[in-house]
Structure 1
Amino acid sequence: MENQKTYSYDEAFQTSLKYFDGDELAARVWVSKYAMKDSFGNIFEVSPTDMHHRIAKEIARIESKYANPMNEQEVFGLLDHFRYIIPAGSPMTGIGNDHQVASLSNCFVIGIEGDADSYGAIMRLDEEQVQLMKRRGGVGHDLSQIRPKGSPVNNSALTSTGLVPFMERYSNSTREVAQDGRRGALMLSVSIKHPDSEAFIDAKMTEGKVTGANVSVKIDDAFMQAAIDGKPYTQQFPIDSADPQVKKEISAKALWQKIVHNAWKSAEPGILFWDTIIRESIPDCYADLGFRTVSTNPCGEIPLCPYDSCRLLSVNLYSYVRNPFTPEASFDFDLFKEHVAKAQRIMDDIIDLELEKIDLIMDKIKHDPQTDDIKHAEYHLWEKIKDKSSQGRRTGLGITAEGDMIAAMGLTYGTQEATDFSVSVHRTLALAAYRSSVDMARERGAFKVFDAKREAANPFLLRIKEADPSLYDDIMTYGRRNIACLTIAPTGTTSLMTQTTSGIEPVFMPVYKRRRKVNPNDADVHVDFTDEVGDSYEEYIVYHKKFLTWMEVNGIDTSKRYTQDEIDELVARSPYHKATANDVDWLMKVRMQGAIQKWVDHSISVTVNLPNDVSEELVGKLYVEAWRSGCKGCTIYRDGSRSGVMISASKKDKKKNAAQKEKVSTDRIPVMAVTETRPKELDCDVVRFQNNKEKWVAFVGLLDGYPYEIFTGLQDDEEGIALPKTVTKGRIIKQTNPDGTKRYDFQFENKRGYKTTVEGLSEKFNPEYWNYAKLISGVLRYRMPIDHVIKLVSSLQLKDQSINTWKNGVERALKKYMVDGTAAKGLVCPSCGQETLVYQEGCLICKNCGASRCG
């Protein structure tokens, strides 16, 4: 590995830019997130072609161990240019990457066998959550086993604090570890039957609380029916006990209205229709063998038992449309079935690769310098995960580009015709994937705990029996290779590289509306999909490629200028017309989800996006319809509903925050006067952070509380930057040396009030850093808005890797000064793929799905 060729960021970006036909966003996403790197940031791949060869080589290596193997070129052909089969982020990053020790699984659920209502169990879950997140895993766990508030305890506290403090504990752990390039997110769930479920539901309504977790409530059929009928409902603890310690009767309707109100106001909690999940779950046929589903992963598409995990892969539906956007459009079902079968084989191969990765993780833990009593919990965690992965061989095969497929077929999303067609595609996918799993069971062996009698009456398998009796018979005879196979996950940033929409959510916004928004007085609109149009450039590129394709297929000139009336006429002819989030019949959307869900053995991650002015009553109707339609879960997002819960404030600052929110609505920091002559002394913040295991420090000079200059670099005790850890503020003083040159000193006061001065601050760091810092400080002094300064720093093309690391440090230091709630324009959420990120306490938080990322 030492002799592998490395590439600079610019080399990889320029080559990838050609690969993506000039799409800068796709190129930057690939280089930043998916190109093979080591822990020091060295880049070993110059374009996605290298990555796909790397993955194909590893898949072919595993295939060669079994009968009828696919070869490397065959696998590469399926992956090339993200056309047909697209691994999710963790497999794409980790397969064949020997430079980093990380899991290939996207999703994990953890839990304690037996009684989990103790501090020991709570702390163990906290540690296991952290250990998985540091390996890039998203984690879910359930809090239903923690006793409700006020219950007696056998310690000095006398009574239990209930669920909410532990929600905050787990949320804080996520914010601590799942940042700085990692993508670990958290799902916390609780049963509606738990006496503290109302407090759980309300927890995120408190400003700034539980910002590091998504929360979902597990609702059973009895509660839903009681809420609809206006009848009482009994909560208890333990929730499954025949002789509960705590029992109380509540108004189901009142609690349901609370859930609906909170979802309308803040898009949380998400709802998991738990009886539907358990009733449909094939793994729960083996509940007594350790496969009892207890929670879901952070996006909700993989319900899991404790210590099971899942890897994700998507099939690009748009690529199977022949003659797209024309009257002759058709779907190539034969090729689709062939590729789905191969995709399921690839998924099973990835399980073998994951088991190899787990062995490497366990070997690393063995050789870590800590003592065995420290390492035991982490090592045992991976033992449990390996055991579950090898027993069930669970996979997460899904789709992307459903909205584009529907449009390319000339159908209108949300109509019954489009729904019926989509269901036929998903039925085909399910039958082809399960046939492939049966064929692999013949060749490779069934998953270890397979028992035909346990599964015979499962509703999902009975649907397969009705659609394909011979497939059902073969399952009962030969078993399957995989305990469960299918899901629909949000494809996030991978959808940027395929230039399609993700999941089953059509997010196309007509080009003329975006242009009109930027310049509403421009009646002569130029339909040009490569022009930058203000803050909507990235959305332009991602969401309008297919509209451009439609124009070209239909012989419409994309280079001329059109009047507004002409553009209105074009958009009305487009297959995406009436298919935006605000145009779709929302009841039809959840019915479509329910119809598709019948052919997905795990779950579907989808958000129903609503305009800001919808009523709470409509939100309630959509949830009820989702339950009745057979959905396993539902999340509803009303435009702008997350912004109110993202801002942390004390009660005495309410008026101040209200004024701040008014400013934030314009996404701008207030205009401030330029002070060209630097004052002799400036207040200073000291910001410490780590980059690639190195300790860094930034000194940010402030004028009127706003950054005016910055010094930053590696901390170096030998050179005199030996500050007590308690020092977070001080002063930067400009001094004149005897020879007339200038220098900058840092001065702070210790706890006893004595002043200490670090002289020559500007000389303490690398001269090249200092030159760039002077450039950035010059921009700050002229009061460029902080978000623009951060973009400027981010866009610097620096060849030396250490300078790039320094650049990242500057970004991190400056993010601290972003006004909470400011939109991060041009950035997309790595979890849900939406451009809905806002700054909060220096971190990025998604208003759509709640994911958070610092650094």
Structure 2
Amino acid sequence: MSNEKETNPAAGLKEYPYAEAVEGAKEYFGGDDLAATVWVSKYALKDSFGKIYEKSPEQMHWRIANEIARVEGKYPNPMDASEVYHLLKDFKYVIPQGGPMTGIGNNLQIASLSNCFVIGHKNPADSYGGIIRIDEEQVQLMKRRGGVGHDLSHIRPTGSPVLNSALTSTGIVPFMERYSNSTREVAQDGRRGALMLSLSIKHPDAENFIDAKVETGKVTGANVSIKMDDEFMRAAKEGKKYHQQFPIDSDQPMYEKDIDARSLWNKIIHNAWKSAEPGVLFWDTILRESVPDCYADLGFRTVSTNPCGEIPLCPYDSCRLMAINLYGYVDEPFTKNAKFNFDRFKKHIAQAMRMMDDIIDLELEKVNQILAKISKDPEDEDIRSVEVSLWEKIRTKAQQGRRTGLGITAEGDMLAALGLQYGSDEAIDFAVEVQKTLAVEAYRASVQLAKERGAFPIFDAGREKNNPMIGRIKEADPALYEEMVKSGRRNIAMLTIAPTGTTSLMSQTTSGIEPVFRPVYMRRRKVNPSDKDVKVTFVDEVGDSWEEYNVFHHKFLVWLEANGYDVAKVKNMPQEELDALVAKSPYHKATANDIDWVSKVKMQGAIQKWVDHSISVTVNLPNSVTEELVSQVYQTAWESGCKGVTVYRDGSRAGVLVEKKKDGKDNSGEYKPPLKRPVELTADIVRFKNGEENWIAFVGIYNDRPYEIFTGKLEEDAMFIPKKVTKGVILKVKDADGNKRYDFQYTDKYGYTNTIGGISRLFDEEFWNYAKLISGVLRNGMPILDVVTLIESLHLNTESINTWKNGVARALKQYIPDGTKAKEKCPNCGQETLVYQNNCPVCMSCGHSKCG
């Protein structure tokens, strides 16, 4: 028994069934189903098998508080666990995001706490060896649940000579596809990897990069952003030529050309208008403002950003994210006495920065655990050496810079609670004042931490003296600046504004710096025959009954109560009366659809002055806007000092991409199934959980889409398949007696072909019968989205088969092409703007993601 805890980290922990955990979380969230399911699915303590060991965020908050208090104990003036818990409780003040929330105190899985990484060679390697090394490194990070970004500007352009048998380079695009495919192959707990690919506008292949995602099915596993310098922006504005070259920073380039800047600008605008990509990064602004780039010669030269664009990073640096809930600092919200409590805000900023610095120590512990695990892995040392080197470089960067990512959320609700209309001059001024306070107090806290714990090792005030961000801190508080010069700073950079989609669902507030999507919106749900006390609103064309009901933004309900309205009565009001009530609220003319894009972009630029990293924000535009308007958005963003910007035109992702004609498809992209099942089909292996059991699916592929599926419980003694095997072939064969069967073949790492005979007969008959039905609709060409919708709508008799059904749906979702519009409404905002990105429905209106 004495060794049990060493071999079983879960010993002593209570396991909760999924349904019980959801019910516990639902009670915590006051009956909020969405918040409860999001928390259980993404943030509750789990082991590597998906077993759940928490049923309430209160348990999670104490888990995090105890770990941070443990680190605090190593330093002077430590906070205790109860102080930390007070900041975390009810998601009211301080909210760790993503990796920190799931990973702190979780000894059941070995994973990084970092939300995002950037990789790239110190001396960029324009060779197959260097390119493939980056591919391997990004996969190693993604399997630890980190988002990854890297730049492609070091790859030589199309047609340039190379010293191998190929003679000339294929250029950027094939390598974009390579990195994208690797991202799609990596899945952790049903969540795919996230990748940002960037390229300098100065690169001769820039136009190919910009066009790479126009063709359906290309580079579907990555976001792409073009790095635009001030010279290009001026040339595009003035209609002048722009010089491209390779290498982009060379005094003696091997390849040069002059282009029409405005033509390329128009191409960028057209593609962004059409399909929301590429995003743009104003690279000179990023480098000019970057404090870490004061140490560029010491390895802190910024080269790319994380997948959402809020953290520009140098190679092998990473960042952990935490948000301060601005709504929590409004006293007496939605009343005439409403006031922002700056004193409490400043106190909590100092404590949040201590927590962020503690999380760096916790991350270093995690990295050491990862390295220890790698050392025990069974692979040969030369295979492990790449991963070891990767994590050692990440550890070094974390130690040298101690970078943090402290941000905010609930900007929209904070302004409404104070009676300020989002986008108004008064609201912008106040939002900037709040962000300025956050910046100054975060830097003050970092200086204090340097006194207590030591400055980041390479701190040099002389290097930073001309940096614009440091200059603004100096102007705002000269005494603080002098103190920083004398004592140093604990963290090289520390501020960001990241997306907070799922975080805001749990804090029940607006997301990031975004306005409320709508204070009231319609949601619908299917009515089952057994449901009681429901009102059938309409019956659709296939006979299904639906109930429509209003969903209210949480803080709009607070406004109602604060202003004497009977919430129960309001919920039963007809739409016209509801609209009139909204018009009286501070959310009137302050929703995502109301905000003037100029106001939003200018607000972003003004706030950006007090964020030393960047801001992730999307400018939502109606479908009817012109390309000229998108051009004005980008131009204004650059002129306002934004570091980057992305636009989304309503509906632009769905049905706008061009499909090339190929076998099995006509010019419209319509799938035409073969008249007869081919003897041999390539196949993907998809593993998933059915309850506590390990299950497997063999997905036969014809013309790049699922054609059939074989699935059931993975019985290791009946069919052992190494976990690293993800592909093979399914053969249709006849035995000596003429009986038909299907065999699966794969090649192992030694090059041997292994055959599993009669895979259909290895599975439970009930599951196999359902799989045959699903294969039937796949073989007849039903769109994959429709197949998934059909599977999800099945009402089956047992819990095990329903769990199996969900696993099959997840297995097939990965084949839904990016840009496909989902057939359901967003569970957060109620709009029909869910679009698949990397097999995950993402709402293009409010930013809600079902995958995190």
Q: Is TM > 0.5 for Structure 1 vs Structure 2? A: yes
Letter in 1 for 2:807: G
Seen in structure 2, the aligned counterparts of structure 1 residues 86 and 694 have a Cα distance that, compared at 3 Å, is same
The CA deviation at 1:207 is 1.5
Distance in 2, Cα, partners of 1:213 & 1:619: 22
Change (3 A) 1:484 1:724: closer
Higher relative contact order (CA 8 A, sep 6+): 1
For the 8 Å contact 2:325–2:410, the answer to whether it is kept is: yes
Structure 1 residue 453: Cα displacement: 0.6
Taking the aligned partners of 1:775 and 1:206, their CA distance within structure 2 comes to: 32
What is the DSSP-based 3-state SS (H/G/I as helix, E as strand, rest coil) of the residue aligned with 1:354?
Answer: helix
2:412 is aligned with 1:415: no
CA distance in 2: counterparts of 1:121 and 1:759, whole angstroms: 43
The superposition leaves residues 149-207 of structure 1 with CA deviations (integer Å, 9 ceiling, x where unpaired) of 11110000101111111100100010011454345310000111111111111111111
Aligned to 2:628: 617
2:235 paired with 1:196? no
1:630 maps to 641
Q: Which amino acid aligns with 2:646?
A: T
What is the match of residue 3 of structure 2? none
8 Å CA contact 2:126–2:155 kept in 1: the answer is: yes
Q: Secondary structure at the residue paired with 1:439? A: helix
Classify 1:536/1:152 alpha carbon distance in 2 versus 1 (closer, same or farther; 3 Å): farther
2:839 is aligned, of 833, 836, 843, to 843
**Matches of 1:396 and 1:724 in 2, distance apart?**
36
- Residue 329, structure 1, aligned to residue 335, structure 2: no
SS at match of 2:568: coil
Match of 1:451 in 2: 460
In the alignment, is residue 140 of structure 1 matched against residue 149 of structure 2?
yes
Determine whether 1:604 maps to 2:604.
Answer: no
**What RMSD in Å do the two structures reach over aligned CA positions?**
4.2
Cα distance change of structure 1 residues 628 and 796 upon mapping to structure 2, 3 Å threshold: farther
Task: Indicate whether 1:26 and 2:25 are aligned.
Answer: no
The counterpart of 1:44, out of the listed 41, 44, 53, is 53
Following superposition, the deviation at residue 433 of structure 1 comes to 0.8
Change (3 A) 1:392 1:472: same
Percentage identity across paired residues of the two chains = 62
* 2:835/2:844 contact within 8 Å kept: no
Match of 1:691 in 2: 688
In 2, Cα distance between equivalents of 1:779 and 1:459:
60
Tell me the equivalent position of 1:589.
Answer: 600
In 2, Cα distance between the equivalents of 1:478 and 1:759?
71
Amino acid in the other structure paired with 1:463: R
CA distance in 2, matches of 1:328, 1:534: 43
Q: Aligned match of 1:356 in 335, 354, 365?
A: 365
In the alignment, the residues of structure 2 paired with residue 475 and residue 390 of structure 1 have an alpha-carbon distance, to the nearest angstrom, of 19
The code of the aligned residue for 2:688 comes to: N
Which residue pairs with 2:661 in the alignment? 650
SS state of the match for residue 205, structure 1?
coil
Aligned partner of 1:670 in structure 2 is none
Distance across 1 between alignment mates of 2:233 and 2:708: 56
1: CA distance between counterparts of 2:743 and 2:644? 54
Provide the residue aligned with 1:10 in structure 2: 19
Alignment map for 1:499-578 (pairs within 5 Å)? 499-511=508-520, 544-560=553-569, 561-578=572-589
Q: Please tell me whether the aligned partners of residues 413 and 579 of structure 1 are also in contact (alpha carbons under 8 angstroms).
A: yes
Aligned counterpart, 1:740: none
Aligned 8 A contact 1:698 1:710 in 2: yes
Measured in 2, the distance between the counterparts of 1:465 and 1:205 equals 46
The TM-score, its normalising length taken from structure 2, stands at 0.85
With over 3 angstroms needed to count, the CA separation of the structure-2 counterparts of 1:826 and 1:103, relative to structure 1, is farther
1:714 correspondence with 2:711? no
Q: Deviations over 1:57-91 (max 9, x none)?
A: 00000001101100001101110111111001100
Quote the offset at 1:319 in angstroms: 1.0
Q: Which digits, 9 at most, give the CA deviation of each residue in 1:621-676, with x for residues without a partner?
A: 1111100100000111111112246786535777664779xxxxxxxxxxxxxxxx
Q: What count of residue pairs does the alignment treat as equivalent?
A: 800
Amino acid at match of 2:792: K
Correspondent of 1:478 among 487, 493, 496: 487
1:449-494 Cα offsets, whole Å, 9 max, x none, are 0001111121111111111111111111111100001000001212
The CA deviation string for residues 812-831 of structure 1, in whole angstroms up to 9 with x for no partner, is 345478698240525679xx
How far 1:411 moved relative to its partner?
A: 1.1
Pick one of 441, 454, 457 that aligns with 2:450: 441
Query: Which SS does the other structure have where 1:559 is aligned?
Result: helix
Quote the Cα distance in structure 2 between the aligned partners of 1:720 and 1:72. 47
CA distance in 1, matches of 2:429, 2:686: 53
Give the one of 777, 795, 809 matched to 2:807.
809
Shift of 1:580: 2.0
Rate the CA distance shift 1:41–1:507 in 2: closer, same or farther, 3 A.
Answer: same
Quote how far apart the aligned CAs of 1:701 are.
Answer: 14
Equivalent position to 2:392, from 383, 386, 398: 383
Distance in 2 (CA, whole Å) between partners of 1:425 and 1:480 is 22
Q: Is the 1:178–1:185 Cα contact (8 Å) retained in structure 2?
A: no
Which residue of structure 2 aligns with residue 205 of structure 1? 214
State the partner residue of 1:791.
792
Please report how far the alpha carbon of residue 536 of structure 1 lies from its aligned counterpart in structure 2 after TM superposition. Answer: 8.3
Per-residue deviation, 1:122: 0.3
- 1:272 is aligned, of 281, 288, 297, to 281
- SS in structure 2 at match of 1:578: coil
Matched to 2:686, the amino acid is: F
Distance 2:456 2:700 in 1: 58
**Cα shift at 1:515:** 8.4
Q: Which runs of 5+ in 2 are unaligned?
A: 1-8, 528-534, 538-544, 672-679, 747-754
Relative distance call for 1:273 and 1:511 in structure 2 (3 A) is same
Give the AA of the match of 1:714.
L
Q: Residues 614 and 795 (structure 1 numbering): CA distance in 2 closer, same or farther, change over 3 Å?
A: farther
Between the aligned partners of 2:663 and 2:494, the Cα distance in structure 1 is 52
Report the Cα distance in structure 1 between the residues aligned to 2:129 and 2:477, rounded to whole angstroms. Answer: 49
Residues 66 and 785 (structure 1), Cα distance of their counterparts in 2 relative to 1, 3 Å cut: same
Partners of 1:208 and 1:647 within 8 A in 2: no
Post-superposition CA distance 1:249-288 (Å, at most 9, x none): 1111111111111111111111100111111111000011
Preserved CA contact (<8 Å) 2:104 2:362: yes
Residues 93-143 of structure 1: CA distance to partner in whole angstroms, max 9, x if unpaired? 110111111000001000111141111110110011000000001000001
C-alpha distance 804-219 of structure 1, shift in aligned 2 (>3 A): same
Q: Cα distance, 1:21 vs. partner?
A: 1.0
In the alignment, which residue of structure 2 is the partner of 1:95? 104
What secondary structure, in the 3-state scheme, does the structure 2 residue paired with 1:204 have?
coil
The one-character-per-residue Cα deviations of 1:801-849 (angstroms, maximum 9, x if unpaired) are xx787454322345478698240525679xx999854458x93364749
Question: How far does the alpha carbon of each residue in 1:662-691 deviate from its partner, in whole angstroms, 9 at most, with x for none?
Answer: xxxxxxxxxxxxxxxxxxxxx999763223
**Partner in structure 2 of residue 124 of structure 1:** 133
Counterparts of 2:142 and 2:795 in 1: how far apart (Å)?
A: 26
Kindly state the Cα deviation for residue 366 of structure 1 after the two structures are TM-superposed.
0.6
Shift of residue 746, structure 1, vs aligned partner: 4.3
The structural deviation recorded for 1:852 is 10
Name the SS of the counterpart of 2:149 in structure 1. Answer: strand
Distance 2:767 2:120 in 1: 47
> Is 1:304–2:313 an aligned residue pair?
yes
Give me the whole-angstrom Cα distance separating, in 2, the residues matched to 1:776 and 1:508. 37
Report the 3-state secondary structure (helix = DSSP H, G, I; strand = E; otherwise coil) of the residue aligned with 1:249: strand
Gap change, CA 1:835 and 1:371, over 3 Å in 2: farther
Q: Give 1:666's aligned residue.
A: none
**Structure 1 residues 554 and 700, CA, compared in 2 at 3 Å: closer, same or farther?**
farther
8 A Cα contact 1:211 1:852, kept in partner: no
Which amino acid in the other structure matches residue 168 of structure 1?
E
Structure 2 residue matching 1:166: 3-state secondary structure = helix
Give the alignment's TM-score, normalised by structure 1: 0.85
* Partners of 1:495 and 1:833 within 8 A in 2: no
